[in-house]
């Protein structure tokens, strides 16, 4: 069993994060000020779907007569935007207005503060702070959603704060129970699939209890895990009462009609495609025998998936809007495409199994893995296996997990270089398409 970590001095983490956060804010401001920038999917969604509803609420107040066929989620973000904008005296809110950017920046700053809180709790060096934060902020789904407001940024901020609460207090306290309950309600009204995150506190507590490294769960601790679950059930009941389902009638096509295993396979393939920079760090965290065994298991999983799960580009089936599906479409020889996707699945499975093996060798089960497992389960009921639905949370999970480790210069340098390039590509796409 590993010895408990010493309290982490805030100095190095704070100074590194201030520089990183300030730089990111400057990038956001620069994009918004540039007349040459365009936000692709985010700008299109904001203009066609989100802001018509925001402006409807600004004119009419909240009622259930807004166009529900425009968005698949409850209009929590839209209500927030509308009432803040009305509160400062605006009659309309254009997508590219300073007010829209400032309102969305509430969620952006909340995200940065959550990342800072996580950095203080899990890192010991400046380089580890960047290993934690850079992968997630390199994602275009974070950057674009900030400049052209969509629900992606706010829902990620709520997710990150839930993880921060679990990291600070593995066993629930009254304060974290209340905070988790508030975040549960907010996240559900941004994206309904986040309802499963209400189970994060009890799942994390049970994982700690099963590990045998903590005292037996008290009845008080168990009771404190229940309020987020009760809040989630109430929110879901409200959605069913107004729609007869958890999504609007016009978006029933987004439901999988059962469990969509493709969502999990997509997560594995996407992990292999954009999470590979973390793989070299595993060579010191596990023995050679462990790595060989895990590699064999990962290959077996990949072969099984390629033989039994549809992995081609298919809009009707929800397999689009992801680099994984774009790659499958761009390779015209089916066997070659299947082999490449299979390799990505194998690498992704290798990453996740290895991470679980690392913590099983003597650590507490970390909350980032508990959270992501629940998050992934919430995607099983969705038909749409899209990259934007999973990438930011996935990269945050990788970042937090590996920032806890003592990475050497090569491992940390590879992660920073890879996600620096990934972020640069996200930025360039804003200007060159």
Q: What is the pLDDT of residues 120-152, one digit of tens each?
A: 999 888 899 999 999 999 999 999 999 999 999
Q: Kindly report the three-state secondary structure assignment for every residue of the chain.
A: CCCCCCCCCHHHHHHHHHHHHHHHHHHHHHHHHCCCCCCHHHHHHHHHHHHHHHHHHHHHCCCCCCCCCCCCCCCHHHHHHHHHHHHCCCCCCCCCCHHHHHHHHHHHHHHHHHHHHHHHHHCCCHHHHHHHHHHHHCCHHHHHHHHCCCHHHHHHHHHHHHHHHHHHCCCCCHHHHHHHHHHHHHHHCCCHHHHHHHHHHHHHHHHHHHHCCCCCCCHHHHHHCHHHHHHHHHHHHHHHHHHCCCCCHHHHHHECCCCCHHHHHHHHHHHHHHCHHHHHHHHHHCCHHHHHHHHHHHHHHHHHHHHHCCCCCECCCCECCCHHHHHHHHCCCHHHHHHHHHHHHHHHHHHHHHHHHHHHCCCCCCHHHHHHHHHHHHHCCECCCCHHHCHHHHHHHHHHHHHCCCCCHHHHHHHHHHHHHHHHHHHHHHHHC
Q: Considering the chain, what percentage of its residues have pLDDT values greater than 70?
A: 96
Q: Determine the average pLDDT of the residues in 7-22.
A: 72
If you average pLDDT over residues 363-376, what whole number do you get?
92
What ranges do the domains of the chain cover?
10-432
Digit-coded pLDDT (tens) for 15-73? 888 899 999 999 999 999 999 899 899 999 999 999 999 999 999 999 888 887 889 99
pLDDT classification of 11: cutoffs 50, 70, 90? low
pLDDT of residue 216: 72
Higher pLDDT, 120 or 3: 120
Q: What is the pLDDT of residues 252-298, one digit of tens each?
A: 888 887 889 999 999 999 999 999 999 999 999 999 999 999 999 99
């Amino acid at each position: 069993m590993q010895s408990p970590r010493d309290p982490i001095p805030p100095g190095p983490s704070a100074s590194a994060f201030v520089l990183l956060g300030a730089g990111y804010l400057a990038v956001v401001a620069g994009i918004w000020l540039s007349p040459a920038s365009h936000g692709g999917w985010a700008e299109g969604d904001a203009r066609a779907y989100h802001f018509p509803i925001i402006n409807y609420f600004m004119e009419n107040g909240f009622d259930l007569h807004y166009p529900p066929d425009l968005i698949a989620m409850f209009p929590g973000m839209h209500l927030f935007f509308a009432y803040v904008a009305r509160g400062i005296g605006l009659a309309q809110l254009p997508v590219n207005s300073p007010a829209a950017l400032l309102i969305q920046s509430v969620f952006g700053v909340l995200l940065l503060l959550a990342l800072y809180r996580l950095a203080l709790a899990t890192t010991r060096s400046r380089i580890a702070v960047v290993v934690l934060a850079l992968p997630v902020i390199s994602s275009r789904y974070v950057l674009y959603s900030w400049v052209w407001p969509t629900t992606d940024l706010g829902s990620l901020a709520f997710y990150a704060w839930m993880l921060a609460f679990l990291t600070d207090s593995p066993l629930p306290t009254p304060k974290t129970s209340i905070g988790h309950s508030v975040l549960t309600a907010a996240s559900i009204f941004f994206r309904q699939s986040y309802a499963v995150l209400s189970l994060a506190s009890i799942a994390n507590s049970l994982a700690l209890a099963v590990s045998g490294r903590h005292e037996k769960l008290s009845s008080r601790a168990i009771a404190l895990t229940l309020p987020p679950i009760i809040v989630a059930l109430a929110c879901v009941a409200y959605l069913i009462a107004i729609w007869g389902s958890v999504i609007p009638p016009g978006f029933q096509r987004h439901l999988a009609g059962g469990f969509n295993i493709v969502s999990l396979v997509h997560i594995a393939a996407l992990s292999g495609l954009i999470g590979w920079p973390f793989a070299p760090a595993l060579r010191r965290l596990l023995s050679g025998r462990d790595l060989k065994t895990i590699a064999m298991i990962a290959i077996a999983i990949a072969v099984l998936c390629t033989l039994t799960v549809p992995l081609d580009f298919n809009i009707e089936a929800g397999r689009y809007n992801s680099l994984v599906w774009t790659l499958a479409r761009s390779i015209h020889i089916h066997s070659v495409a299947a082999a490449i996707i299979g390799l990505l699945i194998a690498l992704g499975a290798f990453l996740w199994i290895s991470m679980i093996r690392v913590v099983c060798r003597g650590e507490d089960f970390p909350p980032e893995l508990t959270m992501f497992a629940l998050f992934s389960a919430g995607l099983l009921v969705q038909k749409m296996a899209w990259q934007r639905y999973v990438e930011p949370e996935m990269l945050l999970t990788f970042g937090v997990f590996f920032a806890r480790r003592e990475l050497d210069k090569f491992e940390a340098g590879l992660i920073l270089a890879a996600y620096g390039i990934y972020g640069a590509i996200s930025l360039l796409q804003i200007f060159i398409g």
